[in-house]
């Protein structure tokens, strides 16, 4: 008996790539990035507990141009993931499922995460 071909699942070549699909992928990516950023936070806390010399080394690394870019990205990742969680909570309550609302919430998530990141860095890093 000949094997029947298995059905194939539609792929990105079938679907039009939308903002909600992008935000779904980015939400997962920021969740992963938050693990790495939390390791950086734990390293800073461990250095602070270890002593002044260790803390100065970590602060020098984090204060470099590369460290600042990484910390800026971590800040954005935390805020974006948090806002994505709020967006999912709104959906869990049964709101925001209309086509315009889904895209609006996705765009709001992206824009608000960038604005909040810039606000946090302006207030607590660049003006400090």
84/74 Cα distance (integer angstroms): 15
pLDDT at site 13: 67
Q: 81 a known binding residue?
A: yes
pLDDT, tens digit, 9 for 90 and up, residues 18-42: 899 999 999 999 999 999 999 999 9
Q: CATH number for the 19-34+63-126 domain, one of 1.20.1300.10, 3.20.20.10, 3.40.50.2020, 3.30.2320.80?
A: 1.20.1300.10
- Predicted local confidence at residue 57, as pLDDT: 97
pLDDT-flagged residues of the chain (< 70): 1-2, 7, 9-13
Quote the tokens at residue 110: 């992206």
Q: How far apart are CA 103 and CA 28, in angstroms?
A: 18
The pLDDT value given to residue 81:
97
pLDDT at position 11 is 67
User: According to the model, what pLDDT value does residue 17 have?
Assistant: 81
Q: Which helix (H) or strand (E) holds 88?
A: helix 65-92
User: Tokens 């590369």 belong to which residue?
Assistant: 66
Confidence at residue 105, expressed as pLDDT on a 0 to 100 scale: 95
Task: Tell the residue number behind the tokens 């909040």, with chain if given.
Answer: 116
Identify the helix (H) or strand (E) that includes residue 13.
none
What pLDDT, on the 0 to 100 scale, is given for residue 12? 60
């Amino acid at each position: 008996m000949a094997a029947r071909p298995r059905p194939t699942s539609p792929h990105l070549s079938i679907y039009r790539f939308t903002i909600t699909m992008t935000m779904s992928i980015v939400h997962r990516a920021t969740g992963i990035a938050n693990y790495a950023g939390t390791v950086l936070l734990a390293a800073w806390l461990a250095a602070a507990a270890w002593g002044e010399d260790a803390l100065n080394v970590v602060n020098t690394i984090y204060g470099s141009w590369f460290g600042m870019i990484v910390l800026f990205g971590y800040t954005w990742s935390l805020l974006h993931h948090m806002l994505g969680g709020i967006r999912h909570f709104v959906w869990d309550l049964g709101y925001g499922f209309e086509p315009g609302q889904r895209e609006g919430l996705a765009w709001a998530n992206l824009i608000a995460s960038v604005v909040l990141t810039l606000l946090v860095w302006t207030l607590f890093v660049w003006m400090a």
